[in-house]
Amino acid sequence: MSSILTGITTSGTPHLGNYVGAIKPSLGKIKESQKSFLFLADYHSLIKQQDPELTHKSSLEIASAWLACGLDPKKTFFYRQSRVPQIMELNWILSNTTSKGLLNRAHAYKAAQDLNAEKKIKDLDKGITAGLFNYPVLMAADILIFDADFIPVGSDQKQHIEMTRDIALRFNHIYGEIFTIPQAHISKSIPLLLGTDGRKMSKSYKNYIELFSDEKTLKKSINKIVTDSLLPGEPKETNNSILYSYFKAFASKDLLKEVEIMFSEGKGWGELKNELFILINTELESFRNKYFFYLENQKTVESILIDGEKQVLTIAEKKLVEIRKKIGIRSLDEK
Ligand code: ADP
Ligand code: TRP
């Protein structure tokens, strides 16, 4: 069957959005897939922030989160993007077949330009790095080097996977078939988990709920989820309710029906938040100690990653040799 691949940027503490959009669906799908590649997008993180200590700390946290949630390094290739230089080499090769116009349309780049426009800054590119502009190409390199075809992500990454497809098709058209065309896998029920303030939950905003905190902190974060001011006893709408969207992300179908009844019968927000806390805590409880174990045992995590990196380096190099041949870069005495 398929090859799964996904990455998480090492730009902060893993949160529930990363769990719902990437971690849970990837680990769920591994059993049915032929190969799986899960990695720390540490070079990607430079696009979002340039705090060396944060990058370092986040790398350990994200690796620990993957392992705590059940990633089995014997069955999955688990590695750091920065330890696979072939990805960077492919990034350059792909930059030369990718049109600038495609990258002009990338949401992340356009959002940065829009911010300048809002601030009435004349040069719309002010403060925008070449790294941000090139973001989709590096992401394409991550995926195409391993011929991955099944990419579990949140809906915020949909455009990037579409661009990867465009980039692959164009390369294949110019140089001949070499890349597998990947497909995004986005949850239908929760394409994007909202933050406590109703915007996308993100490491870049202060609106996220940490995936692993102690119970008290989890409870406190859930209590911060914004609701309207309806009182206990007053029926509540599930439509447009941030709280309900969390139930949708974590509850079984049957439980969700019960929750809908609680909403329509007017259960108080406080009680509903408590129900949500119990639900999320029950799911994460068994992983929590493992997470803190790995955080304390950096050497163990490091050696797991080094093992994974040894394996993927061979696969990446083999693919890159094929790619170099396609573009005419081979030994001079080779026909
Ligand atoms: P962040 O936006 O917090 O920096 P990343 O960009 O590193 O997170 O995202 C890593 C993975 O987690 C991607 O697949 C992304 O789509 C997913 N993800 C991030 N935030 C959310 C969210 N709020 N809901 C669903 N998936 C998300
Ligand atoms: N850019 C993704 C994000 O910020 C992370 C990422 C990097 C990724 N390379 C990838 C996700 C390849 C899937 C496949 O969320």
Whole-number Å distance between alpha carbons of 332 and 335 = 8
Just give the CATH number of 215-292. Answer: 1.10.240.10
Expressed in angstroms and rounded, the spacing between residue 184 Cα and the centre of ligand 1 is: 13
Question: Which of 109, 153, 186, 193 to mutate to test ligand 2, by most ligand atoms within 8 A of the CB atom?
Answer: 153
| CATH architecture group of domain 3-102+135-193+298-326 | 3-Layer(aba) Sandwich (3.40)
If you write DSSP's letter for every residue of 8-62 in order, what string do you get? Answer: EESSS--BHHHIIIIIHHHHHHGGGSSEEEEEEEHHHHHHH---HHHHHHHHHHH
The pLDDT value recorded for residue 204 is 80
CB atoms within 10 A of CB 6: 26
Whether residue 36 contacts residue 26, with contact meaning beta carbons closer than 8 Å, is answered with: yes
Bridge partner list, 39: 7, 79
For the stretch 221-233, what's the b/e string if a residue is b when 16 or more beta carbons lie within 10 angstroms of its beta carbon?
bbeebeeeeeeee
Whole-number Å distance between alpha carbons of 326 and 94 = 12
Expressed in angstroms and rounded, the spacing between residue 153 Cα and the centre of ligand 2 is: 8
Domains of the chain, by residue range, sit at 3-102+135-193+298-326, 215-292
230 secondary structure, DSSP code = P
pLDDT by residue, tens only, the chain of 335 residues: 699 999 999 999 999 999 999 999 999 999 899 999 999 999 999 999 999 999 999 999 999 999 999 999 999 999 999 999 999 999 999 999 999 999 999 999 999 999 999 999 999 999 999 999 999 999 999 999 999 999 999 999 999 999 999 999 999 999 999 999 999 999 998 999 999 999 999 988 889 999 999 999 999 999 999 999 999 999 999 999 999 999 999 999 999 999 999 999 999 999 999 999 999 999 999 999 999 999 999 999 999 999 999 999 999 999 999 999 999 999 999 98
25 lines ligand 1 (CB under 6 A): no
* Tally of CA atoms within 13 A in the half-sphere of 61 that contains its CB: 21
Nearest-atom index, ligand 2, CA of 154: 15
pTM of the model: 0.96
